[in-house]
Amino acid sequence: GGSGGEKQRGVWSLFKRKRCAQEDKERSISGNNWLWLPPKLLEEQDRGFRRSAHWGRGKAGAMTLTATACESQTELLAAQGAPSNMKAKLLCLYTGGTMGMKHNSAGMLEPIPGYLTEQIQDILNCHTSEALPDTTVVEYDTLLDSCDMNPENWKKIALDIQDNYQSYDGFLVIMGTDTMAYLASALSFMLENLGKTVVVTGSQIPFVKTYSDARRNLLSSMTLACSLDIPEVTLFFDDKLHRGNRSRKADSGSFDAFSSPNFPPLATMGLSVQVNKQLLLPQPKARFKVHTTMDFRVVVIKYVPYFDTNALMRLAKHGGATCRAIVLELYGTGNGPQNDERLLSALHVARQNGIVVVITSQCAAGSVLSTTYSINHHLTSIGVVPAGDMTTEATCAKLAYLFGKGLSPDAVATSLTVNLRGEIGNFSQGAQAKL
């Protein structure tokens, strides 16, 4: 407990000590008196009755704390003891990116093989009394800038998680930030029936720099990946744990580089870990499996006032073999020029040729609405699908996933508005089990 200055071992969250029901109600609690609690026990705070609390998850490294007759958190920890000789197991997949970069002989930053892996080992050696999990680092043979990562690299990450799924309690992917939201969105669909936490992170400044955000992001991600019951792909940056398929890179010059414009963070780091439990996905009921057949024949077009609609018509007429879907970023709530007959004609031709047309918004936040303006009605009348509040990153990943399932264009258009992984607001429910 907090008295005596001893810190219990395990995966801890810092939470200021409060009075419990059976403790002296008149006792004055010092501002420096802290109680270290496992995150899974935070919810048990101030409940003075018998309870049981489970620490950890899965067969690997799982452990249980059961309160029998303890009337307070202090008594609970004292009676059961913190899990000091058993730790959760974390698999860290290091793919490249800014975090592990150093300056080369030309003064340019590039990933240095072995460097970040050594730093992680140093961190583990320096924090033996802290609550970091037992961590295995797999450094990929070729460390890539995230701009060079493609669906084949995403597939490798998914398969590495699959191969090690039963042996680890959580997973951490370290990569560059530029395409991080694309990977997080893709993995959220590829990892079916995911029952453990996958955290994707990186940094804006290399670990080697004294003012870097790398150490903080790394330590926080390592801890959260094995301490929270969040069965989904997440993205951690600065102090927020976002749902992966709701995130996007929003600021290239800030430590707070990622946002989740239409969905609150799943958790926020402060003096304690604040988890928005009502937002979390439920534990799956089926066996975990990986779906790697993704069809990324998707074209994203940003519509501007001087857009050449003839180019869109050429794609609609002749692009069917190489383009399965067009994601068209329009204005505001999915608005476009209603007097441009060429636009509506091109989209109609695309639908006739089996190309799914999806409308997203150029706005950073908000949703595409299908009934607000007359142009929205014209678009939906020819079979154009509103993306709702999905990000463009999630929309493209979901299209690739649905086409990879072998669905017809009409089935893909219908399924696109069904919430599969928490990627979209409450447009349609009920088809989750089928996909």
The contacts of residue 160 (CB under 8 Å, 6+ apart) are 91, 93, 138
Angle separating helix axes 180-190 and 151-163, nearest 10 degrees: 50
Active site (annotated) includes residue 322: no
- Residue in the structure block whose two tokens are 């799914």: 356
Q: Which amino acid is at 48?
A: G
CA gyration radius, the chain: 24
Helix (H, G, I), strand (E, B) or coil at 435: coil
d(CA 228, CA 221): 11
- What is the DSSP code (8-state) at residue 386? E
Closest CA to 385 of 426, 413, 408: 413
d(CA 366, CA 362): 10
Residues 67/142, Cβ–Cβ less than 8 Å = no
Count how many residues are written for the chain. Answer: 435
Cβ-count burial of 240 within 10 angstroms (0-12 exposed, 13-18 middle, 19+ buried)? buried
Residues 20/48, Cβ–Cβ less than 8 Å = yes
Closest CA to 302 of 320, 339, 337, 327: 327
d(CA 51, CA 67): 5
Instruction: Tell me how many degrees the CA angle 318-319-324 measures, rounded to the nearest 5.
Output: 145
Count of C-beta atoms within a 10 Å radius of residue 166: 10
- Residue in the structure block whose two tokens are 């067969």: 59
Within 162-310, strands assigned E span 170-174, 191-192, 197-201, 233-237, 240-243, 248-249, 258-259, 267-269, 273-275, 289-290, 298-302
The contacts of residue 79 (CB under 8 Å, 6+ apart) are 67, 68, 70
Active-site residue, selected from the candidate residues 95, 98, 179, 417: 98
CA atoms within 13 A on the CB side of 93: 24
- What is the DSSP code (8-state) at residue 184? H
Q: Active-site positions?
A: 98
